[in-house]
A and B are shown apart, each in its own frame.
Chain A
Amino acid sequence: MSDTIIEVRDLVKHFPVRVGVLFKRVVGHVRAVDGVSFDLKRGETLGVVGESGCGKSTLAQVLMRLEPATSGSATFEGRNMLTMKGSELRKLRRDIQIVLQDPYTSLNPRMTVGDIVGEPFEIHPEVAPKGSRAQKVRELLDVVGLNPEHINRYPHQFSGGQRQRIGIARALALRPKVIVCDEPVSALDVSIQAQVMNLLGDLQTEFGLSYVFIAHDLSVVRHLSDRVAVMYLGKIVEVGTEEEIYEHPTHPYTQALLSAVPVPDPELRDQRQVIRLEGDVPSPVDPPSGCRFRTRCWKARDICATEVPELVTRVGNHPSACHFAEEKSVVP
């Protein structure tokens, strides 16, 4: 179970910024995703964390082929998934599915739950013969912990957590190999978050799924992920196993993020050191030269402005994109 299912290399997605009423002039690009590389192994969960606007969701859109990539490559089981067309793309759609962030807008309010979960079968009729679809929909609802008798209800009759389960059932319908979870729990209450995450974990064991799990909440990602990638301004700054990232972070940004995680133990709370970052995230239209984090980094020197730090292993045993990477345990 260690072979790579998705391999992403130097993936770039730039959105042109246009001005002008009649003749639109391109004045710059929003570098939403700017050279991202990672591997997703079969059956594993890759957590992607980062603050708002760092390009996590854009990455998901590009992987789902909802937005065309500007450059770079991505392969699914060895085949280039960015250039697929026609029947090959249809096949890819069956293998990669997405769970969206907002359960209130991701379900069509005018379709019954049965129609929503059954739609994948209508789009891919080869998956299930017509007669068996209603039964399959009931099974799916059962799998995600909903009452199969609610097939004729409408989304607004469900709570946020239940709606997210409907979204998960829809994504599961085609028995995909990979599910991209685009902040699937961010819009839910904390108590519901745990339920939905446990469901995702159970489904992974049951169906052998691989997840790309996008979130901005480090504790959420830790609960589910085997490996974690930390993104900042369109680039991955550090990637490693869950333990490497949480126990031995080497990139200052990761350390700052981790130091902001609340500690539930009042005894330990005084011991930890909080790293406060100054300023805001720079504009992705005009990112800083060299290291993108240098404008907010307390370690920044001259070299950070001139040389882009590559994502390579410098200290410890996982890659980190910092010239001055050093291990520092911030979570007591």
Chain B
Amino acid sequence: MAKITIDGKVMEVPDGTNVLEAALSNDVKLEHFCYQRYLPVAGNCRTCMVEIEGPKGNMLTVGCNTKVAEGMVIHTLSPKAKAAQKSAIEMLLLDHPLDCPVCDKAGECKLQNQYMEYGLYDARRDVPRYFKGGKAEDIGEHIMLDQERCVLCTRCIRFVDEVPKTSELAIVNRGHEAKIDIFPGVRLDNAYSGNVTDICPVGALTLKEFRFKQRVWFLKKTESVCHGCARGCNMTVEQNKGHIYRFMPRENPELNKTWMCDEGRFSFDHYQTNRAAEVRVGKENRNLAYGIDQLAKLLQDIPADQVAGIASPTAALEDLYVMKKLFEKRFNPKNLAAPFWDKPGDADNVLKVADKTPNRQGLKLLGFDTEGKDLLARMEKGEFKIVLMMHNNPFGHDEALAQKVYGKVNALIVLSVHQTKTVEKGAMVFPVRTFIEKNGTFVNATSRLQRFRQAFEPENPDVIESSMWLACLANALKVEGFDYVDTPSVFNAMAKEVEALKGLTFNSIPSTGVVLAGLASVAEEPFKGIKAQPNVLGKKCEGECSKA
């Protein structure tokens, strides 16, 4: 630890931290542009200029490329530092086109924000503006490049060099002709290409999927976790009036840093198309209360041993818990399993894992049978009259077999998010919410319990969370102990019973998640062979350490 002083504020920060990181983590405002926490330092924008006291007098230097040292005295607000910061911004803005109204980055653009704060407003340029050209160039499957807006911070170049290690981008030409471009014959098509648009501080790199769809200031952001694979990258859901416009990675230093794969990033359309819309009983569309009522009547005359339940690793921990509890209290817990058939996905050393379900570890945590061979064999024999199917289709690989097996069941009860083939076969169908429309938790492949929050309420009030649906059914069957009000209350009840979750409440789970002790990790840690954290992260210094 090194004791330093920034603007008269004394603080202790870890050794090897740079001045910029020390300032930012201790609430000292210092503008920066080319510096990104999880990329190597380039130090080319010069906007984080600070004045450091030294034996030969004060020295102006960049904050990002200066490591802290014991007793360092730093000024970010001195007239010298301020003038240097201001002139750096002035240089960046010299030939930057003023097309903010058509630029997709407007509203979250670092250059725009800094200009509002430090800008000179009156340009001092007396020679004609130089326009590089190169507007709206298609450089990859998801990416558009605008060379005119680029300020050459090289964040994107450092990203493709360091994380996916594909190196498609480079600066070409020199001087005022310098611009970012792809190598000839190469396209920016790597599996993580979407990240370059997040880190681009200006509107030079934009996403085709988001381009012109919505202005960023209309978007409402909700903390969430990616549903695409067992890695569970942290992300925010950005929506307006119930329409999702994009997924953005959310910083988690212990898991995905600030990165996310394209597969997960562009999966948002999947959750708002082809949705199961109405409660269906037989061939008629009815409301939820009627459906639950009919189902309760049906279940009353059937021996508990002839009811099977199929859970799913795509369901939240709360859904699984309520289902398990219902089978323990009312039906036979041996008839409950979670066999899941899914196409195996690709894995890599960065973030992706082969298991494309978000909560298979959650099934293990609650003691579910994830193979369920015995249950499926009994289903094929026709031992069950009623099958309760939650977000799942264990016979997805074989349509003829599915037809045969489901034909032997008297009533197939389907809880589904999407309008699938299983939904068509169901005797009763209940549409349920996606993870975006509900609160809940997942346990990822490295045993990290992570919370996602509800982004918006679906239009149809009959579309409820699977956990709440199961609780409604339990209440209709007059089973005691299902008086849950919402999913957080389910989690809080579950945390009291499950050993690994002891002491946690839904709201006390940190936004970066907690690693559950006693649950073995089934995947390798992310970023194998990649220097994903080249900078020592700063640490907020509170209490004792900030005393002079």
A and B: real partners?
no
Interface of A toward B, CB cutoff 8 Å: none
Which B residues are within 8 Å of any A CB, using their own CB? Answer: none
